[in-house]
Structure 1
Amino acid sequence: MDRYGSPPMSVFTVETPGHHPPHFPPHIRKRRVEGKMLIQLVLMMFALLALCGAATQIYYLRRVQSNLDATQDMINTNSLAQKMTLKQDVRPTPSAHVTGLTIADTSSTFPLQWEPTRGLAFLHDVGYSNGSLVCMKSGLYFVYSKLQLALSNCPRVNDPPTFFTHGVYKRSTDKPLMENKRAFCDTWGFPVWKGSSFIGANFMLEKGDEIYVKMSHKNLIRVDRDTITFFGLFGL
């Protein structure tokens, strides 16, 4: 063997790039893993928020629908109640209210004459004849009458006061059902006097009864408006 011969050749292996993944330091790999987990957590939170929003919308839509159903049920119930009321044919009790007083006779014995149908006046199951309200059904009634009064030329200061009588009477007996008697021109020293008289009470009336109003001093009555002088009744 040649001791001076050539030494054996060294063999080198060259690895082709891309055949093996690069080796990152441990701290870089940890950060990449943590970043992926954070992204996944954020995506999960957005998904939960979306689900909560959808659930909230469904809840409120159901509440709105429930309220609409309840409202519709109420409307249907009220409509049914109205129909039942109409079917029962409920009518008001006998009643009358007359106004528009006309003083055709100044005599204290002559009944006051009224307008029974125009303006605020009306008749329901009650008749009217020559100043009288005619009862068409027997029963308990509240009867009332109001007169607005005034006088512009009262007597002198030293003269005694004068009294008027305002009453409601039954024609069959010409006796008063109720009366009011009071003084007028009792404001000494003042030539103008103003006042009013109201009477009202409950009475049992029979079918065919006629009631009317009388006033002893008709010159005191003021009838410029239907709301201050009137006469009427209604069943109880």
Structure 2
Amino acid sequence: MDRYVQSPMSVFTVEEPGQYISSCPPQVRRKQRSCNLSLQLILLLFAILALCGAASQVYYLWRVQSNLDAAQEMVNTNFEAQQMKFRSGFRVGPSLPSAHLTGLIVKDTSLNKPLQWESSRGLAFLHEMEYHNGSLRCTRSGLYFVYSKLQLGISCPTKIDPSSFFTHSVNKRTMDSVTPLMEDKGGFCNVQGSPAWKKSSFLGSSFLLEQGDEIYINMSHRHLIRAQGDTSTFFGLFML
């Protein structure tokens, strides 16, 4: 007897309209949302850092510009102050000892005494220096420029002594010791047939002087000195 074998029946499932079955499980979807949120936070952090960097650069440039403006204003102010000092005749820097003596009048022809000068009138002045009996006394030790100028002249006699010469000297006195610093020698009335003789004798150089040193001028033939105002015969010094 033949057996009839019946094949199993196929079962089909029909989805209802609007029903969707996702291929990803819910846990995977949560991880994706967490990754997207982290990426957005990182991008936001980078954007904030970029804005902070730009703001700091702007602030730094503003500070630099402010400092430049302040420095420029300071330079301009100092320049104007220097110009005002220059126009007003003020000396820039520390005050240094100086003196200028004029108005020489020869009353005593003794060679043992220094030439006598005017120390306060006309162009003469004393600044941190002392004057006494023809000598300038240093009040501060240092390097000084010392100078002296004598205007000389005489009506020459008929008979001329060719050995006649003068000595104009600058000397330093320290306690009881005298040291010649500069000297100028020259003959006078040594040109035959000349009715008059004129000469200007100038001495000037720098020396190291100590406090208390006295500087004075000596002249061998004082009758040759022709003091004419404050500009032809003078004596002075100033610290360098």
Answer yes or no: same fold by TM over 0.5: yes
User: Quick one: which amino acid aligns to residue 165 of structure 1?
Assistant: T
User: Do residues 216 (structure 1) and 220 (structure 2) align?
Assistant: yes
Distance (Å, rounded) in 2 between the aligned partners of 1:152 and 1:80: 55
Matches within 5 A, 1:1-150: 76-79=77-80, 90-150=93-153
Quote the offset at 1:76 in angstroms. 4.0
Tell me which of 172, 189, 212 is aligned to 1:170. Answer: 172
Q: Structure 2: which 5+ residue stretches go unaligned?
A: 1-72, 87-91
* TM-score normalised by structure 1 residue count: 0.62
Q: Per the alignment, do residues 81 and 220 of structure 1 end up closer, same or farther by CA in structure 2, a change over 3 Å counting?
A: closer
The TM-score, its normalising length taken from structure 2, stands at 0.61
Residue 78 of structure 1 deviates from its aligned partner by 3.0
Letter in 2 for 1:127: E
Percent identity over paired residues: 56
The answer as to whether partners of 1:95 and 1:233 remain within 8 angstroms in 2 is: yes
Q: Which of 220, 232, 235 is equivalent to 1:231?
A: 235
Mapped partners of 1:235, 1:155: distance in 2: 46
Matched residues in 2 for 1:229 and 1:201: separation? 17
Q: C-alpha offsets along residues 171-203 of structure 1, whole Å, 9 cap, x if unaligned?
A: 222231111111111121112111111111111
Q: Which residue of 2 aligns with 1:192?
A: 196
Letter in 1 for 2:149: K
CA distance in structure 2 between the partners assigned to 1:221 and 1:115 by the alignment: 15
For 2:85 and 2:200, how far apart are their aligned partners in 1? Answer: 45
Residue in 1 that maps onto 2:35: none
Does the 8 Å contact 2:156/2:194 carry over to 1?
A: no
Q: 1:209 to 1:75 in 2, by over 3 A?
A: same
How far does residue 129 in structure 1 lie from its aligned partner after superposition?
0.7
The residue that corresponds to 1:153 in the other structure is: 156
What's 1:201 paired with? 205
Contact 1:161-1:185 within 8 A present in 2 as well = no
Structure 1 pair 235–190 and aligned structure 2 pair: CA distance change class (3 A):
same
- Residues 79, 229 of structure 1: alpha-carbon distance in 2 compared, 3 angstrom cutoff: same
RMSD over aligned CA atoms reads 2.7
Structure 2: distance between partners of 1:101 and 1:180: 18
Q: Give the total of aligned pairs.
A: 162
- Residue type matched to 1:168 in 2? V
Contact 1:155 1:185 in 2 (8 A): no
The alpha-carbon deviation at position 77 of structure 1 amounts to: 4.7
Letter in 1 for 2:193: G
User: Which stretch of the first structure deviates more once superposed, 114-123 or 90-99?
Assistant: 90-99
Distance 1:167 1:80, change over 3 A: closer
1:9 matched residue in structure 2: none
